[in-house]
């Protein structure tokens, strides 16, 4: 798309440079640490799965056995147990679920461990590369069948089998992306439940079996509709990297995956989140997953006009964290939202300005645009019109991933008919004005151009103030979303470990190599 | 006196109602007739299906109109809102606090349990407020503490004790499978178990919370759709003044 706003390239470059300087010290911390969920994710990549009679997942059983020896890498003990017992992965998983301990076996010959690990990494790589080529082949075969932007809906019945019905119906009606909402408590669980689930509040659990069930259901629609359907879940919360691992194995296509969201909005410890997000993003990068970042959340707590710069600043930081985790620009679904108070004069112009600004600053990213939620009322008729304006901005500014607004937002999780009406609304607006963006230039120095310049300038100043104190201090002081998070507080801190000198993680090594990090 | 009212389309007492709904059947003449019969069974006369649309293979969507004979007697209606006709503006609320109480009012609020949606509590408490109604943080005579989301009931009570709160606000947005009812009930039970129920004014809020429901569950008041900080402040000030008068 041709730039229309005349944004100064040197200020954009300055913002990127600041993001790099802000992230760099955090990255040094990340590289020196691991966490319980990074270790469990590594085990999952190796095929560790299942649960004991109490429902405790096998990856948790292994990690809990190891305690402080986790610093050496959990996989070492698991692979050692494979070598010592001669079991295959399924066999050993079963025995661990029955109480077998991997922590007290004599450590075997390092070369034997390396050789066994190499097989495990090979099996993982083959499966995930197979998933990637399957997706790429379908996208090539049905190319030009998806909408632009991709139309994204959620399902949230709380029962995976009911979710399947809703998801298939939505896909048949034209949705390109289906996100299965998780139960509201899952982000704070320090384990991933096992098996298919039929309960939860505002969604059901993300489990590997649920991923598999939904993937299979959507694949049926893919061939029938001749359109690839992207399956989405949430690599966030206390099990970020484990969910990314499960998604890579079961061919999910998108993951909500933010570098700071958990810290600010779920009160998860910042050290823990920074370490977790890195490994989760490496897995997503390798699996060809598009991440969706959570900047829209800033605007549900802060004012969308006054605090627009926090969204852009967070996009720069997410971009930087993503880049050093190996994600390519086409995988960065940087988030933003249409959340201004509908009663303010010319609110639409500002939304248009900001959406266009994001498009021009991140030209290759499939920007993820979120619909109005904060100012949706019980007036479903007005809500439908608000969504129409949102659809207009998204189409005109060439957003990548368009999360459909529901006329019943703020009332209940979507009914089947709500999703249908939302899809019809978007398809109508987007088709009817398909190429309007190409026809329109903005008045130089006019309201739209000025607004974009102003937000960029405020963003650079904000990033400078963060750079001056450091990212962790900035979070402690409440510079993001007015939320203060002390570095030694928050959930999950006890799961953080320094990496020992002999830390062994062949999966991490493999990903680092493959991603060219 | 009776004052009979029916829905109004374009003529008094025409009883015109507009509905939309989904049936788990394929679209087609049989589906359309099923929708019309359903309207008739609801008691509508002149039931008309004006739009039928396939949602997927086994589901269809209908827009329907009907006319109803059903009416309500407007004069017989008693409402149970937490606040009456008079609601203080922010300035009036602060003035009332200075006059009637002579000290700051301490209010603690949180979205409790696993509910992660702060939008309700933020609308009432945050400085900025909602829809041009400032939140309690902006009230000079109110000391407002917004603890955010996913706060356990126990912690909320501990915090309220620590800061000497007059009132506790509990926000519940997620209502799937009545999780809000369980959570609100647990909150009241905890207060009672610790002998603190009378220590605080306790209010519940959320888009699906009514005053009636909240009072039934043991709260002093409940606030639903259309509530602003002014409503909550008015209730708390009047209740505190009333208690002071009694003491």
Question: Which pLDDT tens digit goes with each residue over B126-137?
Answer: 877 787 788 898
Residue A312: is its pLDDT beyond 90? yes
pLDDT at position A64 is 97
Flag whether pLDDT at A299 surpasses 90.
no
pTM, rounded to two decimals:
0.87
What's the pLDDT tens digit per position in B25-57? 999 999 999 999 999 999 999 999 999 999 988
Q: Which of A164, A170, A201 to mutate to test the interface with B (most CBs of B within 10 A)?
A: A201
Q: What is the pLDDT of residues B70-80, one digit of tens each?
A: 999 999 888 77
Look at residue A362 and tell me whether its pLDDT is greater than 80.
Answer: yes
pLDDT digit string (tens) for A160-205?
999 999 999 999 999 999 999 998 778 889 999 999 999 887 789 9
Please give the pLDDT value at position A87: 97
- Residues shown for chain B: 247
Contact between A416 and B55 using a beta-carbon 8 Å cutoff: yes
d(CA A333, CA A336): 10
Question: For A113-127, A179-193, A387-401, A439-453, which range has the lowest pLDDT when averaged over its residues?
Answer: A179-193
Measured between alpha carbons, how far is A349 from A449 in angstroms, rounded to an integer? 10
Confidence category of residue B246, pLDDT binned at 50, 70, 90: low
A173/B contact by beta carbon, under 8 A = yes
Domain positions in chain A are 33-122
pLDDT at residue B113 tops 90: no
Domains defined for chain B, CATH in brackets:
4-72 (3.30.30.60), 90-243 (3.40.50.280)
Active-site annotation holds for A369: no
Q: What are the distances in angstroms from CA A34 to CA A3, A115, A338? A: 42, 23, 37
Considering only the beta carbons, identify the residue of A169, A185, A483 that sits closest to B114: A185
**Cβ count within 10 A of residue A345:** 6
Does A184 sit within 8 Å of B119, measured CB to CB?
no
The DSSP call for residue A5 is S
pLDDT band for position B117 (cuts 50, 70, 90): confident
A388 vs A428: CA distance, rounded Å: 9
- DSSP H helical ranges for A305-379: 308-324, 347-361
CB contact, 8 Å: A450 with chain B?
no
pLDDT at A199: 86
- Which residue, chain included where needed, has tokens 């890195």? A278
Contact B126 A301 (CB under 8 A): yes
Q: Which of A239, A265, A258, A234 is closest to A156 using CA atoms?
A: A234
CA distance B100 to chain A (A): 33
Q: With CB atoms and an 8 Å threshold, state whether A202 touches B174.
A: yes
Which of A158, A162, A183, A184 would best serve as a mutation to test chain B binding (most B beta carbons within 10 A)? A184
What is the average pLDDT across A85-104? 97
The per-residue pLDDT for B84 is 79
What's the CA gap between A33 and A498, in Å, rounded? 4
| Mean pLDDT computed over A147-156 | 94
pLDDT tens, position by position, A466-517: 999 999 999 999 898 878 899 999 899 999 999 999 999 999 999 999 999 9
Count Cβ atoms below 10 Å from residue B32 Cβ, excluding itself.
18
Predicted confidence band of residue B247 (pLDDT cuts 50, 70, 90):
low
pLDDT at B177 over 80: no
Rg (CA), chain A: 23
What DSSP state is assigned to residue B173?
Answer: -
Q: List CB contacts of A269: < 8 A, sequence separation 6 or more.
A: A263, A487, A488, A489, A490, A491, A492, A493, A496
Check whether B89 has a pLDDT greater than 70: yes
Q: Across chain B, what does the average pLDDT equal? A: 91
List A253, A258, A276, A296, catalytic entry = A296
CB pair distance less than 8 Å for B179 and A201 = yes
Q: Residue B19's beta-bridge partner residues?
A: B64
Average pLDDT of chain A? 95
Decide if B177 is catalytic. no
The partner residue sitting opposite B22, judged by closest CB among A173, A378, A417, is: A417
């Amino acid at each position: 798309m041709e730039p229309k706003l005349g944004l100064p390239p040197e200020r954009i470059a300055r913002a990127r440079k600041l993001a790099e300087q802000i992230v760099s010290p955090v990255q040094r911390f990340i590289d020196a640490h691991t966490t319980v969920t990074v270790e469990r994710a590594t085990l999952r990549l190796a095929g560790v799965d299942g649960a004991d009679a109490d429902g405790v997942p096998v990856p948790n059983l292994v990690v809990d056995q190891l305690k402080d020896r986790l610093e050496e890498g959990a996989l070492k003990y698991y692979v050692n147990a494979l070598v010592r017992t001669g079991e295959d992965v399924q066999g050993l998983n079963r025995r661990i679920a029955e109480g077998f301990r991997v922590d007290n076996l004599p450590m075997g010959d390092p070369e034997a461990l390396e050789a066994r690990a190499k097989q495990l990494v090979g099996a993982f790589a083959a499966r995930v590369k197979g998933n990637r080529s399957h997706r790429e082949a379908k996208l090539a075969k049905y190319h030009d069948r998806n909408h632009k932007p991709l139309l994204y809906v959620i399902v949230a019945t709380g029962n995976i089998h009911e979710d399947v019905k809703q998801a298939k119906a939505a896909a048949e009606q034209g949705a390109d992306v289906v996100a299965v909402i998780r139960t509201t408590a899952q982000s704070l669980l320090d384990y991933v439940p096992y098996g298919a689930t039929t309960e939860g509040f505002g969604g059901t659990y993300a489990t590997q079996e649920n991923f598999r069930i939904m993937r299979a259901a959507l694949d049926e629609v893919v061939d029938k509709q001749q359109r690839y359907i992207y399956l989405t879940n949430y690599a966030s919360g206390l099990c970020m990297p484990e969910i990314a691992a499960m998604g890579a194995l079961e061919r999910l296509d998108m993951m909500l995956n933010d570098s700071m969201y958990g810290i600010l909005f779920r009160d998860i410890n910042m050290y823990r989140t920074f370490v977790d997000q890195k490994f989760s993003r490496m897995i997503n990068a390798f699996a060809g997953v598009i991440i969706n970042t959570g900047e829209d959340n800033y605007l549900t707590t802060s004012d969308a006009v006054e605090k627009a710069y926090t969204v852009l600043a967070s996009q720069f930081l997410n971009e930087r964290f993503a880049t050093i985790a190996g994600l390519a620009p086409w995988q960065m679904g940087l988030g933003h939202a249409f959340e201004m108070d509908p009663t303010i004069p010319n609110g639409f112009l500002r939304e248009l300005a900001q959406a266009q600004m994001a498009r021009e600053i991140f030209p290759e990213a499939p920007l993820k645009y979120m619909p109005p939620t904060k100012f949706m009322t019980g007036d479903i008729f007005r809500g439908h019109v608000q969504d129409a304006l949102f659809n207009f901005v998204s189409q005109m500014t060439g957003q990548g991933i368009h999360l459909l607004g529901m006329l019943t937002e703020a009332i209940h999780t979507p009914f089947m008919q709500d999703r249908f009406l939302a899809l019809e609304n978007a398809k109508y607006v987007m088709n009817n004005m398909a190429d309007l963006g190409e026809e329109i230039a903005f008045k130089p120095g006019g309201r739209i151009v000025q607004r974009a310049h102003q937000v960029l300038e405020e963003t650079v100043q904000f990033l400078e103030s963060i750079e001056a104190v450091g990212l962790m201090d900035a979070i402690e002081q409440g510079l993001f979303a007015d939320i203060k998070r002390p570095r030694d507080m928050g959930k999950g801190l006890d799961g953080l470990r320094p990496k020992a000198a002999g830390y062994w993680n062949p999966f991490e090594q493999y990903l680092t190599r493959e991603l060219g990090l | 006196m009776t004052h009979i009212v029916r829905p109004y389309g374009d003529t008094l007492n025409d009883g015109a109602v507009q509905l939309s709904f989904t049936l788990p059947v394929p679209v087609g003449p049989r589906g359309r007739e099923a929708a019309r019969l359903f309207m008739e069974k609801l008691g509508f006369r002149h039931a008309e299906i004006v739009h039928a649309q396939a949602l997927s293979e086994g589901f269809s969507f209908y827009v329907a109109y009907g006319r109803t004979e059903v009416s309500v007697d407007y004069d017989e209606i008693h409402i149970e809102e937490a606040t009456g006709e008079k609601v203080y503006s922010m300035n009036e609320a602060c003035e009332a606090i200075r006059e009637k109480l002579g000290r700051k009012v301490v209010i603690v609020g949180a979205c409790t349990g696993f509910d992660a949606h702060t939008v309700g509590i933020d609308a009432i408490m945050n400085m900025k407020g909602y829809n041009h109604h400032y939140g309690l943080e902006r009230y000079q005579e109110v000391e407002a503490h917004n603890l955010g989301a996913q706060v356990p009931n126990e912690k909320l009570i501990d915090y309220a004790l620590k800061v000497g709160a007059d009132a506790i606000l509990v926000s519940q947005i997620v209502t799937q499978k009545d999780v809000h009812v369980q959570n609100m009930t647990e909150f009241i039970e905890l207060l009672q178990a610790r002998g603190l129920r009378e220590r605080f004014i306790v209010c519940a809020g959320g888009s699906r919370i009514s005053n009636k429901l909240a009072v039934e569950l043991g709260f002093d008041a409940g606030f639903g759709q259309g509530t602003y900080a002014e409503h909550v402040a008015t209730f708390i000030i009047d209740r505190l003044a009333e208690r002071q008068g009694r003491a």
